[in-house]
Amino acid sequence: EIHPQSEEYKGSVNPIGIRSCYDEGKRVAESLCFDYQRIHNTEIRVARIFNTYGPRMLPNDGRVVSNLIVQGLKNESMTLYGNGNQTRSFCYVDDLINGLIKLMNGNIHGPTNLGNPKEITILELAKNISNKLNISENFIFKELPQDDPLQRKPVITEAKNKLDWYPLINLDQGIEKTINYFRNL
Ligand code: UDP
């Protein structure tokens, strides 16, 4: 058994857990794409998209960036799941879309990571957003969802080397733009 606090657990996927439909669904989609390529010569590209955020997210989407911004704007407590020490690496939507376009126009055959490698804890994110909204920190800690990964950080060497792609918008700029969007909504 893999211990939830171990290094090994951090990036692992539970094949029968509550997220497994989602996790394994993405994997089987990749396998099927490669079968189509082999059998029918279908032209394929496979992107592995990491956490992405930005304007036009739905306020009730449930993702952490939209939740925290919307809660902050409404003067509600920000919901942090677990102790907030789990990490994610957030990519601004425009960067991600440029990556997808380059991937589509490019010639990489294997699965390609697209995301922003700058890693941050959820607690740091909540502090950052509170700061930008100019409100005092008001967090409520809730139970960590089952099989919530402790760490997410894409290795994007391949996209950098073969597509000359890397994210240009840093988290501060991206969060500002996203806050402005939700403010006007
Ligand atoms: N999360 C949180 N508060 C929220 C929504 C999410 O603390 O209101 C946490 C969630 O448990 C996870 C991280 O933020 O550890 C990212 O969650 P999200 O659903 O945005 O993306 P994913 O889990 O798919 O990486």
Active-site choice (22, 53, 81, 166) = 22
Distance from Cα 185 to the centre of ligand 1, integer Å: 22
Per-position pLDDT tens, the chain of length 185:
566 566 666 667 889 998 899 999 999 999 999 999 999 999 999 999 999 999 999 999 999 999 999 999 999 999 999 999 999 999 999 999 999 999 999 999 899 999 999 999 999 999 999 999 999 999 999 999 998 999 999 999 999 999 999 999 999 999 999 999 999 99
Query: Does the CA dihedral 171-172-178-179 come out positive or negative?
Result: positive
Residue closest by Cα to atom 14 of ligand 1: 64
Residue with tokens 């409520």: 140
Give catalytic status of residue 181 as yes or no.
no
- Residue whose CB lies within 8 A of the most ligand 1 atoms, among 88, 123, 125, for a mutation test: 88
The C-alpha atoms of residue 159 and residue 161 are separated, in whole angstroms, by 6
* Beta strand segments in 26-176, E: 47-49, 52-53, 78-81, 87-89, 91-92, 112-114, 119-121, 139-142
23 sits in which H/E element: helix 20-40
pLDDT in tens, 141-177: 999 999 899 999 999 999 999 999 999 999 999 999 9
The pTM of this model reads 0.93
